Structure 1
Amino acid sequence: MSVESMPEPGTTATGITEPGMNGPRRSGKGRRRKARSGRSKALLVTAWTAAGVVVLGGVGAGYVYFKLNGNLKSVDINQALGSERPVKVDNGSENVLVLGSDTRSGSNKKLGGGTDDGSARSDTAMIIHVYEGHKKASVVSIPRDTLIDRPKCTDTRGNTYPAASGVMFNSAYSTGGAACAVKTVESLTGIRMDHYLEVDFSGFQKLIDDLGGVTVTTTKKIEDSDSHLNLKAGTHTLDGKQALGLVRTRHGVGDGSDLGRIQLQQAFIKALVDQVKHVGLLTSPKKLYDLADTATKAVTADSDLGSVNSLMDFVDGLKGISSSHMKMVTMPVRYDPADPNRVVVAKAKAEQVWTALKNDRPIPASATKGTATGQAKGVVTAS
């Protein structure tokens, strides 16, 4: 019996409402103090690998389906947010909020060096806009250090949190979990998020190891003791630990800011997407299963994607998108004059980005020209 022929079991929505921590601060203009841990782990490759489950058939398919389905965690975003949301644009495009979460428990405690208190924070946030036809996408990274006005929100357990002004963007997740993060992004952009995906960084590390590593080229030496990373200039096949170090580092390259780290993350994701598309998954059923098992354990999705069948259908629509058809930008920001350790939204330029996505159009180059950068662009490239 094939996977597609099996009935889809119901899934139970779970709330993710652990308190988080504020990010590192920089003292003095142009300089940042040492980050406490700087964990950032992106990410969307989990969805691409989960698509491979569709080829699993034969006698064991029933067990495999229920095993992988049981791995998935889901959150009912729609119920928590209710009807006061941006209107869904019915033009064939989709908007997905992807968060990299730092759940400080279990294996994540060992990786992050935190206490096993079950708390969580989100250091990585990306809006993925999949254009009509699902042949290309734009990815907009939102810096965690951005000062924003957080709206009143309700989490998936029914707890309500008051609005707050001038707080860091990542406080939305640490305050009210996934639902408040989505509410904040929708308030910030005026764009409805059709889906939500969250990946924890211990799962990210194991996923890279299961893939056999990811090959990148560094144009400069990257050395950061905080992220346990020491790479000479040249081509490297990064294992899971090194890959996690690369997407975490903010001191090894650029100006030591979160903006520089985002540039490294974006370059790594492009390399990762291309490698996943060309890895020989179909020649090794065991490798395929190991990847799917890891991916489904690492991901939390909105309830519409909270089953293997739903996730596979969604991902199947993305498989035609290669890195050459992904435009990756950072939300237009400028350094806060009152605190150079923080950034604020460059509203006029950011509006160009949101308007383009609402109308399913490419993001214009003018939207990001002259905005704050992390000075790490081009340091890492796909090989």
Structure 2
Amino acid sequence: MTGDGEDRRVGRRPRVLKAVGLTLAGTLVLGCAAAGWAYWHLNSNIKSVDINSALGDDRPAKVTPTPSTSQEAPLPTEAVNILVLGSDSRSGKENQALGGGTSTGARSDTAMVVHIGAGRTTATVVSIPRDTLVTRPSCPLESGGTTSAAYGAMFNSAYSVGGPVCAVKTVESITNVRMDHYVEIDFSGFAKLVDALGGVTVTTDEDIDDDDSHLTLKAGTHHLNGKQALAFARTRHGIGDGSDLGRIGLQQKLVKALLEQISSTNLLTSPTKLYSVADAITGSLTTDTGLDSLTELMSLGESLKGLSSDEVKTVTMPVVTAPSNPNRVVAKEPAARDLWESLR
């Protein structure tokens, strides 16, 4: 015989299972909603500039990808050139607190051409000294009209007078290399990225004491937080001869250290940390329209999964002291021309 107590338990079982099912369904819906919101938030973080439409066809030839016979959409494997700028933006309290100053506007404080070779397992990062005197071409303005061409202008003035479009056009003019993509990150974004990764470890061969960047370090290995890493990237007067070339050396050390930090951090095991890193990257990022979505950035990142920090070479565009100004430099020929030729 079955007792009344057991009958009641059997009767409750479907109700309990239904409640558990509803709870799981609700959790799944909330999880999907949270994931959808996170994707929307990260995607909307990214700012973009339509470089291709602004510059038209008057540009160096673009690398033609090899046709794929795969039925699935393959990851890109052709060589690609990306102009990466670090902007010392004056906008926003965070950038000002990190050294952006109180004036308006911005300059390209750091400029690197990142050449990723065919197969995407090797890369060359070429730094362009911001004090390089160049012929700055006439550039289209977003408001209409164009800037005037300038001879013997400082390289970083291109961004100041014409923004990302003029920065890209100037780089293409002096290198005759097509920039397939453009990426810009500002002060606060860089500092947030380093903090989200848990800091970055760098080694300096000499003491650093720079009143301008507010960084003091003894020679040796140090683990830096975001604010310190930014100061490290901006230091120039506290090392060597105080020129921009010394700062570039520190920036190249930092690039390698960041790549090593990213590769050693398994972000997939920590969704919270992964989101924090993604939010830091996208929150202060400006790209061309070919990289202005999370899907496109993820595709680029996935195509670089075979690229290790050991296969990233950092160099500086060969320069010599400018005859007209001992505080400026000009491209050293034919060495500079040969370097750019190797990236086409």
TM-score (ref. length: structure 1): 0.76
Equivalents in 1 of 2:106, 2:337: separation in Å? 30
**C-alpha distance 137-156 of structure 1, shift in aligned 2 (>3 A):** farther
RMSD: 1.4
Equivalents in 2 of 1:259, 1:104: separation in Å? 24
Amino acid aligned to 2:213: S
**2:302 corresponds to 1:316:** yes
Q: How does 1:1-383 map to 2 (within 5 A)?
A: 58-90=32-64, 92-106=78-92, 107-112=94-99, 114-115=101-102, 117=104, 119-358=105-344
Equivalents in 2 of 1:253, 1:353: separation in Å? 27
Partner secondary structure for residue 68 of structure 1: helix
Equivalents in 2 of 1:159, 1:131: separation in Å? 36
Larger Rg: 2
Instruction: Flag the structure with more relative contact order, 1 or 2, with Cα contacts below 8 A and sequence separation at least 6.
Output: 1
* Consecutive unaligned residues in structure 2, runs of 5 or more: 1-30, 66-77
Partner secondary structure for residue 223 of structure 2: strand
Deviation at 1:137, TM superposition (A): 0.5
> In proportion to residue count, which structure has more helix?
2
Deviation at 1:123, TM superposition (A): 1.3
Deviation at 1:157, TM superposition (A): 3.9
Equivalents in 1 of 2:122, 2:183: separation in Å? 19
Q: Deviations over 1:156-214 (max 9, x none)?
A: 44331111101000011001000000000111111111000001011101111111110
Deviation at 1:110, TM superposition (A): 1.8
Deviation at 1:116, TM superposition (A): 5.1
Equivalents in 2 of 1:59, 1:192: separation in Å? 41
TM-score (ref. length: structure 2): 0.85
Deviation at 1:338, TM superposition (A): 2.5
Amino acid aligned to 2:40: F
User: Percent same amino acid among aligned pairs?
Assistant: 59
Partner secondary structure for residue 190 of structure 2: helix
Deviation at 1:233, TM superposition (A): 2.1
Partner secondary structure for residue 296 of structure 1: helix
Deviation at 1:320, TM superposition (A): 2.1
Deviation at 1:347, TM superposition (A): 2.5
Give yes or no for contact 1:145–1:170 (8 Å, CA) kept in 2.
yes
Equivalents in 2 of 1:181, 1:218: separation in Å? 31
**C-alpha distance 158-305 of structure 1, shift in aligned 2 (>3 A):** farther
Partner secondary structure for residue 290 of structure 2: helix
Equivalents in 2 of 1:126, 1:157: separation in Å? 27
Give yes or no for contact 1:155–1:178 (8 Å, CA) kept in 2.
no
Moved over 4 A (4+): none
Amino acid aligned to 1:336: A
Equivalents in 2 of 1:334, 1:169: separation in Å? 15
Deviation at 1:59, TM superposition (A): 4.8
Give yes or no for contact 2:89–2:100 (8 Å, CA) kept in 1.
no
Partner secondary structure for residue 335 of structure 1: strand
Deviation at 1:113, TM superposition (A): 5.2
Give yes or no for contact 2:137–2:148 (8 Å, CA) kept in 1.
yes
* Consecutive unaligned residues in structure 1, runs of 5 or more: 1-56, 359-383
Amino acid aligned to 1:232: K
Equivalents in 1 of 2:274, 2:297: separation in Å? 16
